[in-house]
Structure 1
């Protein structure tokens, strides 16, 4: 989808962005997307600009944003750079939420054996990077996972008020 004057059918756009034709029609019904033209047989035809809008919608949806909010953002008149900055902020926030959820699930799993406070969780997580047995276990799941998990636990611990410079087993 490179030539700015080329028009794409609804099927072309759906395949290109791995969405259904029904999804594109739904977005059109909501006023989120509008085809640049209609063919003589009334088929929807999308421009490169329309395709760029579809891409933005998909990215914002991936962050959990509601369609009505996406419409407001896209209709705000912001530049492409402003949209990219906002998308980055949303993706970073989404990743943080996901990481916090994984840390909570990890802490909950440990809590089945004994009570695990955020401070205890932080102290245990230090072994994930200092003890080769833990590190190799977690890194076998995904290279660098031990460090990532320890960092995520530290972030959540600090957000919970744990002094990570002087943690106390409590």
Structure 2
């Protein structure tokens, strides 16, 4: 390679500043033979000529289209290369990437809405799925009360990906469970019996559609269902006394798994 005085050509640093390319990238392109400087100083430092700079400009242009370095080499050095075809193929890849990014953006929007709103359903959809007695303001109140908890985050993650049809399946499962609880109470099923334990486990599984529910957490829910006027009214509206009976079967099932209901905590 010819030598040149330090004043001839552009140094790596100068080329880096002019093209907005890192010095590391210029060194790499030199090492792989993609863009080698034509000159060297007496001390062995790289110097780029006007012709070198023109090639580097072209490399930068094609790199901004997303072409890989070997693809760029082919475009620049292979006289038989189908440049337009290569660019069309790259455009197709870019279009696919844009579509994926749009889908990602839409998913992020739904996740944000779910964390802020809970249910991503209109008031009309909520009434159709959960019944006319459903209060569409309840998700906002739940967000205000529980929005900083792990369980709200888990609920939001499920809600973000759940369709109205999937919410309908959840609502149907909860309604079926409520009917089964009322029927069991009418039939005299006693807390601690196999039938009662099965119902407690069924409740835990169905309720886990909202967030994972441990047995200790279920005990805490049982307390709340009995003590909270809104929840108690729901269960006692199915059968008088059902809220208290449900708490008893949950407590008995917990004891069968070595959990003391009197000391159970939300964990």
TM-score between both structures, scaled by the size of structure 1: 0.49
**Higher RCO (Cα < 8 Å, 6 or more apart):** 1
TM-score between both structures, scaled by the size of structure 2: 0.33
Give 1 or 2 for the bigger CA radius of gyration: 2
